[in-house]
Structure 1
Amino acid sequence: MKKTFTVSVFTENSIGMMNRVTIIFTRRHLNIDSITASESEVKGVFRYTIVLRTTRAQVEKVIGQLDKLIDVFKAFVHEDSEVVHQEIALYKIKTASLTNGDVEKVIREHHARILTVDTKFMVIEKTGHVNETQLLFENFKPYGVLEFARSGSVAVTKPMKEFSTYLKELEELNHKQ
């Protein structure tokens, strides 16, 4: 049965790394719903957060292949219940929409905020889950959405040990050998 999984991949920061990571998903004909990359809590270590819908068996095979890549320290898979995740969405809508007060009501109802107001447009920000940002997009459509951009999901894990702890354990094992 297909489910949503969040894959965290910890790597060195090297050129072409994102391509090497994503090609593994492509070869297995898996569609990535979102991908983000940033420095992790460990200096010099990058974190890729990848969200996809697939089966547990498929994602486990991908994790095995990711772990074999040079420059990958470790890859982990998480189900939705094991992570706290959010994304940011930006909406550019016509400033003229502000005149009747309905747009402001929609903004308040969705706990969004206005980032900037210009003579022709305004930019609104919403942080939340994909269904929340999509719902706000649908609510803004009647007012004239000029642009819409959504980041990929960023996530931190709940029960799993931290990556820095994993690195320390590896270091201790290397010293014993």
Structure 2
Amino acid sequence: MENQWFTISVYSENQVGLLNRISGIFLKRHINIESLNVSKSEIENISKFTIVVHTTERWTRHIVSQIEKQVEVIKAFYHRDDETIYQESALFKIASNLLFDERQIQNIIKDSHAQIVTVSREFFVLAKTGRRHEIDEMHQKLEPFGIMQFVRSGRIAVTKTEMRISAMLEEFQHA
């Protein structure tokens, strides 16, 4: 089996130390977490971890099984990239003089569908939302002009098919 990209979704109670235990599962298997996002989910009082890994399906299935053994974890799923709709966000801080002096910067902003978030005398900030390769491409185009600061979010994702986590939780609460 060859490595591919997987998005792991973990629904859990919001408990101190769970993130540390989940990351330890990956550490023990020498699997790098490429992206991590934790947020509230569509279910009240339930958190959702979105974890991106590049490994085999066998290892991913094994990791999901280990994650589900954590007491606070309600359910974990994994999906291939073609089974999800996903985005990342990035912020680029650039010297302000470039916005007005370099026509190419304006073309990069327009062509990449980025947004100018703020402008000051010293710098301006661009926001870009999209797939990882789109953000990488924009970074590559801006790099020769000098990027003062750069930050990227973890992946956020929803599945193309219905996830029956809400129904599962309802059954669990009535049991």
Could you tell me the TM-score, scaled by structure 2's length?
0.95
Task: Note if 1:111 corresponds to 2:113.
Answer: yes
Comparing 114-123 with 95-104, greater Cα deviation is found at 95-104
**Deviation string for 1:36-95 (max 9, x for gaps)?**
000101111000000000001001011111111110000000011111000000000111
**Deviation string for 1:103-154 (max 9, x for gaps)?**
1111000000100011111100000011000100010012211011000100
Paired AA for residue 83 in structure 1: T
RMSD over aligned CA atoms reads 1.1
Deviation of the 1:170 alpha carbon: 3.2
Paired AA for residue 40 in structure 1: S
Structure 2 counterpart of 1:4: 5
Aligned counterparts of 1:145 and 1:119: Cα–Cα separation in 2: 16
Paired AA for residue 74 in structure 2: F
Aligned counterparts of 2:33 and 2:126: Cα–Cα separation in 1: 26
Structure 1 counterpart of 2:81: 80
Task: Note if 1:52 corresponds to 2:42.
Answer: no
Structure 2 counterpart of 1:40: 41
* 2:132 corresponds to which of 130, 133, 147: 130
Structure 1 counterpart of 2:150: 148
Paired AA for residue 148 in structure 2: L
The answer for unaligned runs of 5 or more in structure 1 is none
Deviation of the 1:96 alpha carbon: 1.1
Runs of 4+ more than 3 Å apart: 169-172
Deviation of the 1:160 alpha carbon: 3.8
Aligned counterparts of 2:164 and 2:36: Cα–Cα separation in 1: 20
Paired AA for residue 91 in structure 2: L
The answer for unaligned runs of 5 or more in structure 2 is none
Structure 1 counterpart of 2:98: 97
Count residues with an aligned counterpart: 173
Task: Note if 1:157 corresponds to 2:159.
Answer: yes
Could you tell me the TM-score, scaled by structure 1's length?
0.94
Deviation of the 1:171 alpha carbon: 3.8
Give percent identity, aligned residues only.
38
Deviation of the 1:16 alpha carbon: 1.0
Aligned counterparts of 2:106 and 2:55: Cα–Cα separation in 1: 39
Structure 2 counterpart of 1:68: 69
Paired AA for residue 15 in structure 2: S
Deviation of the 1:17 alpha carbon: 1.2
Deviation of the 1:165 alpha carbon: 2.0
Aligned counterparts of 1:73 and 1:62: Cα–Cα separation in 2: 15
Paired AA for residue 73 in structure 1: I
Aligned counterparts of 1:147 and 1:96: Cα–Cα separation in 2: 16
